[in-house]
Structure 1
């Protein structure tokens, strides 16, 4: 993480106060003065401030059941921020791992561990995200018939999103009814789910994220909880 962030996680200093001390030469990393606030450090580094060794507070990992008409943002905008639902200190240190659109509901992951959140939505690690999708138009014909099979095959082979050259990674489509499907993807492009269904001439009227990897949404709307140790360690390639 950034050196200034590490100092904030180890003390009660603000980001600007931490930056000032770094520039003043008060911070040593492995015995050497570092005066660049954005320098990358690891919690295993020996970091001191005015001779006192610093130890970062444990990272926090949170599940929130996001309501509709809320923003995946740290601040309010046209809609209220999801952070209004979380009663914790120092929420400014937290960030969202995989944002959801204002009108989308479901599982939102929030943390102050940048490496963990990077792995959650890095397509390299193929962490599966499952969305329940409510469609404007019925899938023509029997949902277990030829039309549905053709659509399912297109999602498995990858779709060409408007304005992009690379096809989407293989996705799994399960039909619940003619207007409701479960979609499993392993990447997180901009408005990806909505754009995927636009590729087949349909429109998403409702979207709900049910799970990320082995982390399943299990709390009421608008509620939050800390993730368990097993849930945290379930993210691929995290150590």
Structure 2
């Protein structure tokens, strides 16, 4: 017997957090009866439907996408814009992105049908390095760079980078290349930190996620993660989540 939300997450329909919301909203039935209690447990013999669609158990799969700019980190978009799952037309499993990258941000984005894995990586206490390379219009001062490491209060959120390093400066063009490493992943965090310092972000790319890099990939490319890579990510997340 397993908790209903876990069964839904493992089926690849959505994350466990979203599954809990669907249960509470009365959109899940077990053997034809609506269930709204999160503690409900089901067996493999029970017939579970989510929004009228029967669950089909899927084998977990894990992908890394080099997301281009101008793509939505979602499985669909009501405005008809390109979404990240459009890059996987031959994948039959119902994969979804782990977290998100902004529309104008490129780089590593992970996708899976494993809701538990997604929740683990997005846990607020995990400390997986996420490395961003920022091209700025305007050159941040040393004090500004230091303030991002100390932390900034922006619109009620405390935003802090683990490491910030100026990689290069072009004083003639008034631009800089900055490396920013985060552990957390609050909405538009990198852009908001630079905006708070009155420094314009020209380009933003996530180049590393844990031990994963974009080496050998072009924008729009994807590949399946190896079992070892999945195991490494689990280890990095679990060792910091109590």
* TM-score class, shorter: 0.7 to 0.9
Kindly report the root-mean-square deviation, in angstroms, between the aligned alpha carbons of the 2 structures. 3.1
3-state DSSP class of the match of 2:45?
Answer: strand
Q: CA deviation at 1:238?
A: 4.2
Q: Matched residue of 2:205: which SS?
A: strand
Q: Provide the C-alpha distance between the structure 1 equivalents of 2:9 and 2:186, rounded to a whole number of angstroms.
A: 29
Residue matched to 2:113: 112
Give the gaps of 5 or more residues in structure 1: 26-34, 140-146
Question: Which segment is superposed worse, 126-135 or 67-76?
Answer: 67-76
Whole-Å separation in 1 of the counterparts to 2:230 and 2:39: 23
Among residues 183, 186, 206, which one is paired with 2:183 in the alignment? 186
1:223 pairs with 2:221:
yes
Q: Which residue does the alignment assign to 1:87?
A: 89
Q: How far off is 1:167 after superposition?
A: 2.4
Please name the residue that 1:24 is paired with.
Answer: 32
Closer/same/farther in 2, CA of residues 116 and 227 from structure 1, 3 Å limit? same
Shift of 1:94: 1.7
Tell me: CA distance 1:156–1:8, structure 2 relative to 1, closer, same or farther (3 Å): closer
Query: What is the number of equivalent residue pairs in this alignment?
Result: 207
The alignment's TM-score, normalised by the length of structure 2, stands at: 0.73
TM-superposed CA distance for 1:134, in Å, is 0.8
Offset, 1:59: 1.0
Instruction: For residues 146-172 of structure 1, give each alpha carbon's deviation from its aligned partner in whole angstroms, at most 9, with x where no partner exists.
Output: x42x233212211111x11x5223421
Instruction: Please name the residue that 1:5 is paired with.
Output: 8
1:136 aligns with 2:137: yes
The question of 1:153 aligning with 2:160 is answered no
Using the TM superposition, give the Cα deviation of residue 126 of structure 1 relative to its aligned residue in structure 2, in angstroms.
1.4
Between the aligned partners of 2:7 and 2:121, the Cα distance in structure 1 is 24
Cα distance in 2 for residues equivalent to 1:105 and 1:73: 14
**Which of 193, 199, 202 matches 1:202?**
199
Would you say the 8 A contact 2:85–2:95 is kept in 1? no
Correspondence for 1:98: 99
| Structure 2: gaps of 5 or more residues | 14-21, 48-54, 170-175
Conserved? CA contact 2:107–2:207, under 8 Å: yes
CA pair 75-55 structure 1, distance change in 2 beyond 3 A: closer
Higher strand share: 2
Question: TM-score w.r.t. structure 1 length?
Answer: 0.74
Query: Partners of 1:125 and 1:6 in 2: how far apart?
Result: 20
- Between the aligned partners of 1:106 and 1:180, the Cα distance in structure 2 is 16
Alignment match, 2:230? 232
Report the CA distance shift for 1:40/1:112 in structure 2 as closer, same or farther (over 3 A): farther
Q: Deviations over 1:118-146 (max 9, x none)?
A: 2223230111110110101123xxxxxxx
